[in-house]
Copies of this chain bind each other. A is one copy, B any other.
Amino acid sequence: MAYRRTDRVQARLDAQRTALIRAASDLLAEDGYAGCTIGAVAARAGVATGSVYTHFHNKSALAAEVFRTIVVREVDAVRAAVATGSAADRVSAVVDTFAGRALKSPRRAYALLAEPVDPAVDALRLEYRRAYRDVIADAIGAGVVAGELPPQNAAVVAAALVGAIGEALVGPLAPTAADRPTDSETVPTLIRFALRAIGSTDRAHA
In the complex, whether A197 has a CB less than 8 A from a CB of chain B is yes
Name 6 extra pairs, CB < 8 A, besides A129-B167, A159-B170, A163-B168: A116-B120, A116-B126, A126-B170, A130-B179, A156-B183, A163-B163
A168 to B163, CA, bound (A): 7
Cross-interface CB contact of A160 among B115, B123, B193, B198, cutoff 8 Å: B193
Q: Which residues of B contact A181 (CB under 8 A)?
A: 155-156
A residues bordering B, Cβ < 8 Å?
114-123, 126, 129-130, 133, 152-153, 155-157, 159-168, 170-171, 179, 181, 183, 185-186, 189-190, 192-194, 196-199
A118 to B119, CA, bound (A): 6
What copy number does this chain have within its complex?
Answer: 2
Minimum CB distance partner of A187 in chain B: B156
Q: Which residues of B contact A117 (CB under 8 A)?
A: 119, 122
Nearest CB of chain B from residue A67's CB, rounded to whole Å: 12
A117 to B189, CA, bound (A): 32
Q: Which residues of B contact A189 (CB under 8 A)?
A: 152-153, 156-157
Q: Which residues of B contact A162 (CB under 8 A)?
A: 163, 167
